[in-house]
């Protein structure tokens, strides 16, 4: 399925500097910043700077340099937030079934407490 990127989404506005953010780390191709409504003591969002809607869009169309940079940024956030020892969870929601709120790829990096089971069975 071809994805259409909406450049009016909130993370596009953050990348253009139109909306402030609490930056954790910025690299050539990626930005990591704190979630505005944290669900855990550590809740950082990592996004690519390029116009990718969701994970498979990015993984299929981004350059090797963007993909390496993005993954290394996630790793750096895990380390700099002190999550290696206690553990963490990374989540990326996509589309309707994934209940994706912002249509710009983002990885949630969560930690700082025991997070509970991944999903609740809903029937």
What is the rounded end-to-end Cα distance, in angstroms, of the chain?
28
Q: If binding is defined by CB under 6 A, does position 100 make contact with ligand 5GP?
A: yes
Both structure tokens of 94:
């996509």
Residues 32-91 that bind ligand 5GP (CB under 6 A): 33-37
Place of tokens 């020892």: 85
Q: Does 19 bind ligand 5GP (CB under 6 A)?
A: yes
Closer by beta carbon to ligand 5GP, 85 or else 101: 101
The residues, ordered by sequence, that sit 6+ positions from 91 with a Cβ below 8 Å of its Cβ are 107, 108, 110
CA distance 17 to 1: 30
Nearest-approach distance from CB 64 to ligand 5GP, in angstroms:
25
Q: What six digits make up the tokens of 9?
A: 């989404």
When binding is defined by CB under 6 A, the residue of 8, 17, 101, 114 that contacts ligand 5GP is: 101
Q: Is 106 among the residues known to form the active site? A: yes
Binding residues for ligand 5GP, rule: CB under 6 A, are 10, 19, 21, 33-37, 93, 99-102
- What are the catalytic residues? 106
């Amino acid at each position: 399925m071809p994805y259409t990127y909406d450049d009016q989404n909130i993370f596009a506005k953050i990348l253009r500097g139109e909306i402030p953010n609490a930056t954790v780390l910025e690299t050539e191709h990626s930005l990591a910043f704190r979630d505005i409504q944290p669900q855990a003591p550590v809740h950082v969002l990592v996004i690519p700077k390029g116009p990718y809607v969701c994970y498979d869009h990015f993984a299929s169309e981004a350059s090797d340099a963007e993909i390496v940079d993005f993954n290394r940024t996630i790793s750096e956030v895990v380390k700099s937030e002190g999550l290696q020892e206690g553990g963490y969870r990374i989540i990326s929601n996509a589309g309707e079934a994934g209940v994706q709120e912002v249509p710009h790829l983002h990885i949630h990096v969560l930690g700082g407490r025991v997070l509970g089971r991944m999903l609740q069975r809903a029937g």
